[in-house]
């Protein structure tokens, strides 16, 4: 049984009916004597971690809203109920008309949470930490201006992977394997695997292919000192940080997982069959 006394609603107001559904959820939670707070946004969201603690978070939007909620809630150990008001919905899996059913099943202990690994990203510059962050889907290094080839050196704790000349580099989690990485020709991984995908974007050398490495191996990406064009680090497609020649980016498993309610492996494979029309159609 899960006891909920205080909940937070992440509301993406760009989504149709998001405010109406939020009002419905707040009303029902109030009937159950559960305090409901909101983080509503139509532009850049702003969450204050000092506004907690919370026992549960609702994500009202698409997968992007879940990504923001995960970066905010995972470090606090708060589970997320991801309600899908978007289109694709690989992570946001709960239909709007089923949120109460899923909420009841979870509080009664009849369904659990899917633990999704997150990445901790640290940028080291001149032997000091220049930036830090976390992500649920992926970390991308790319040119910051008009598309240009960037020069990167990639290694793990145990081996040198080599130099990459490409439009960019994606390091993705299994959850993020169905996002930017798959569009760049990367493999799809089971969402609860413990592995990373290293995937160059349009590599200059065709032999540079995506590779899957064990999670126990931290990955280090160095922007080569000879790099002349601007380079940008992006987390989950939402957080950006400019990089400089000689910067070293350390990617490793975060100390916390994202906990998603009703978004387990069965839901993931159903989404694959439905969204990607495997076997000729969603019902095959």
Can you give the residue ranges of every domain in the chain?
6-112+262-280, 118-255
Residues catalogued as catalytic: 63
The mean pLDDT of the chain is: 91
Choose the CATH number for 118-255 among 3.40.50.970, 2.60.200.30, 3.40.50.10860, 3.90.700.10.
2.60.200.30
pLDDT in tens, 184-231: 999 999 998 999 999 999 998 877 889 999 888 889 999 999 888 899
The phi and psi torsions of 140 (rounded to 5 degrees) equal -125, 135
- Contact by Cβ (8 Å): 180, 199: no
Please state the rounded mean pLDDT for residues 13-24.
Answer: 95
Q: How confident is the model at residue 240 (pLDDT cuts 50, 70, 90)?
A: very high
pTM of the model: 0.92
Q: Say whether 219 sits in a helix, a strand or coil.
A: strand
Q: Which fold has domain 6-112+262-280?
A: Rossmann fold (3.40.50)
185 Cβ contact partners less than 8 Å away, ≥ 6 residues apart: 199, 210
Give the lowest-confidence range in 170-179, 181-190, 266-275.
266-275
């Amino acid at each position: 049984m899960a006891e909920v006394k205080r909940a937070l609603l992440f509301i993406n107001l760009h989504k149709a009916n998001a405010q109406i559904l939020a009002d419905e959820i707040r009303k029902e939670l109030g009937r159950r004597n559960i305090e409901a707070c909101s983080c509503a946004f139509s532009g850049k969201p702003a969450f204050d971690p000092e506004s907690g603690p919370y026992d549960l978070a609702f994500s009202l939007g698409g997968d992007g809203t879940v990504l923001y909620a995960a970066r905010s809630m995972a470090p606090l150990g708060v589970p997320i109920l991801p309600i899908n008001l978007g289109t694709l919905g690989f992570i946001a899996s709960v239909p709007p008309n089923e949120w109460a059913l899923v909420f009841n099943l979870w509080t009664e202990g009849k369904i659990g949470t899917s633990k999704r690994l997150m990445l901790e990203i640290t940028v080291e510059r001149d032997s000091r930490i220049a930036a830090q962050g976390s992500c649920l889907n992926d970390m991308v290094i790319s040119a910051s201006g008009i598309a240009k080839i960037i020069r990167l050196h990639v290694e793990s704790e145990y081996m040198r992977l080599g130099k990459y000349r490409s439009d960019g580099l994606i390091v993705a989690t299994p959850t993020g394997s169905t996002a930017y990485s798959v569009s760049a020709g990367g493999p799809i991984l089971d969402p609860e695997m413990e592995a990373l995908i290293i995937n160059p974007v349009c590599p200059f050398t065709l032999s540079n292919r995506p590779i899957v490495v064990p999670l126990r191996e931290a990955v280090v990406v160095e922007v080569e000192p000879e790099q002349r064009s601007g380079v940008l680090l992006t987390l989950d497609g939402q957080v950006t940080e400019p990089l400089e020649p000689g910067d070293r980016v350390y990617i490793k498993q975060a100390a916390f997982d994202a906990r998603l309610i009703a978004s387990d492996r069965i839901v993931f494979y159903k989404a694959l069959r439905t969204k990607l029309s495997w076997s000729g159609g969603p019902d095959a």
